[in-house]
């Protein structure tokens, strides 16, 4: 299987404190030098609680937030870590598209559905005529479950689920190779969530898409993804196939996540003595970021942050000092 995205030491930081002269004196590490590879045709899930860096990672990969990295190679020919301007990012805009979390606020209320879906084509496929663009938009509307008669309607006339279908159509209209879904169903009702997830699975096969699916809902990730990364405090703490992760989670944080869904899964990976009154992660200056909540913390956990390594007798990569 061909590698489509290779990431080495990706870091995203936000300024949180300035001195009297406006100089940044403290930054929050939203994404902390993470490494991963994604193969063409995979659906990779990224899970973790709010604030773990999932959305910052998504925005970094499409150039919406400033990031630093040792190396990010997309499709074997684009070095994203060297991109600094919008002109640079235009080289990959067609091939990397993002579906936003809030389906309604992500759409321009002053434009019709047809205008919203066709807009990327005007900017990124300028060789098409207006007639060809409209034909392509109508075809994509049918693929995502929208009717042609809705072409001239406005976003406020649609439900949340319909607006998300518009967002999906807008992202797919330029035929991307990589689709990043930033919690695309979290704002929708459960029944609508199922429709959107099933739609994404169908489109992934039909269009041969590679998908990064970001969510905090384990049941959704279990249904749609075949490989999963677990994030905590800006770090990837576990990488595994869906089967390995849900049958035998290795990292204490992953087990804690599963315990929060105790009624969702047959197995219960209950671990005692987790600290609920933990200090802010940003206050941990060295060592494992999970040290203040872990029940098996050791001296080394307070000194050095563990790196991802394949755990003995498993195929799972885990960043943990515990045996």
Express each pLDDT in 173-184 by its tens digit.
Answer: 999 999 999 998
pLDDT category, 51, cuts 50, 70, 90? confident
Return all residues near 133 (Cβ < 8 A) that are at least 6 apart.
Answer: 118, 121, 122, 125
pLDDT tens, position by position, 53-111: 999 999 999 999 999 999 999 998 899 999 988 889 989 999 999 998 888 888 999 99
What the chain holds in terms of domains, given with CATH numbers, is 3-225 (3.40.50.300), 248-323 (no CATH)
Residue 267 pLDDT exceeds 90 = no
Long-range contacts of 283-291 (CB under 8 A, 24+ apart): 284/233, 288/319, 288/320, 288/321, 289/32, 289/232, 289/233, 289/234, 289/235, 290/232, 290/233, 290/237, 290/251, 290/252, 290/253
Cα separation, 251 vs 268, whole angstroms: 14
Q: Name the band, by pLDDT with cuts 50, 70 and 90, for residue 272.
A: very low
Q: Can you tell me the distance from the alpha carbon of 55 to that of 101, in angstroms, rounded to the nearest whole number?
A: 9
pLDDT the model gives residue 148: 93
The DSSP letter of residue 68 is B
Instruction: Note the pLDDT of residue 115.
Output: 95
Over residues 272-277, mean pLDDT: 49
pLDDT, mean of residues 148-159: 94
Please name the residues in contact with 156: beta carbons below 8 A apart, sequence gap of 6 or more.
109
Please give, one letter per residue, the 3-state secondary structure of 227-246.
EEEEEECCEEEEEEEHHHHH
Read off the pLDDT band of 282 (50, 70, 90).
Answer: low
Is residue 30 helix, strand or coil? strand
> Distance between CA atoms of 91 and 95, rounded to whole angstroms?
8
Percent share of the chain, pLDDT over 90 = 57
As a whole number, the mean pLDDT across the chain is 88
pLDDT of 289 reads 87
């Amino acid at each position: 299987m061909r590698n489509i995205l290779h990431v080495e030491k990706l870091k995203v930081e936000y300024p949180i404190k300035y001195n009297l002269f406006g100089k940044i004196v403290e930054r929050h590490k939203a994404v902390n030098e993470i490494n991963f590879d994604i193969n063409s045709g995979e659906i990779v899930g990224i899970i973790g609680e709010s604030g773990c860096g999932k959305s910052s990672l998504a925005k970094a990969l499409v150039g919406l937030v400033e990031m630093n990295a040792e190396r990010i190679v997309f499709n074997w020919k684009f070095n994203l870590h060297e991109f600094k301007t919008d002109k640079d990012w235009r080289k990959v805009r067609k091939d990397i598209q993002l579906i936003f979390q809030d389906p309604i606020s992500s759409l321009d209320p002053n434009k019709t559905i047809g205008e919203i879906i066709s807009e990327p084509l005007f900017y990124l496929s300028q060789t098409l005529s207006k007639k060809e663009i409209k034909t392509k938009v109508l075809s994509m509307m049918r693929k995502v479950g929208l009717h042609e008669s809705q072409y001239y309607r406005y976003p406020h006339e649609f439900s949340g689920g319909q607006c998300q279908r518009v967002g999906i159509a807008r992202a797919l209209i330029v035929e991307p190779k990589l689709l990043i879904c930033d919690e695309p169903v979290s704002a929708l009702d459960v029944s609508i969530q199922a429709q959107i997830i099933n739609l994404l699975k169908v489109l992934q096969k039909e269009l041969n898409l590679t998908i990064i699916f970001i969510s905090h809902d384990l049941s959704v990730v279990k249904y749609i993804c075949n490989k999963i990364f677990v994030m905590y405090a800006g770090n990837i703490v576990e990488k595994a196939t869906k089967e390995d992760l849900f049958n035998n989670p290795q990292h204490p944080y992953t087990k804690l996540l599963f315990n929060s869904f105790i009624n969702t899964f047959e197995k219960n990976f209950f671990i005692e003595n987790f600290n609920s009154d933990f200090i802010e992660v940003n206050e941990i200056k060295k060592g494992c970021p999970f040290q203040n909540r872990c029940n098996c913390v050791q001296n080394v956990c307070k000194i050095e942050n563990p790196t991802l390594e394949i755990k003995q007798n498993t195929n799972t990569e885990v960043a943990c000092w515990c045996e």
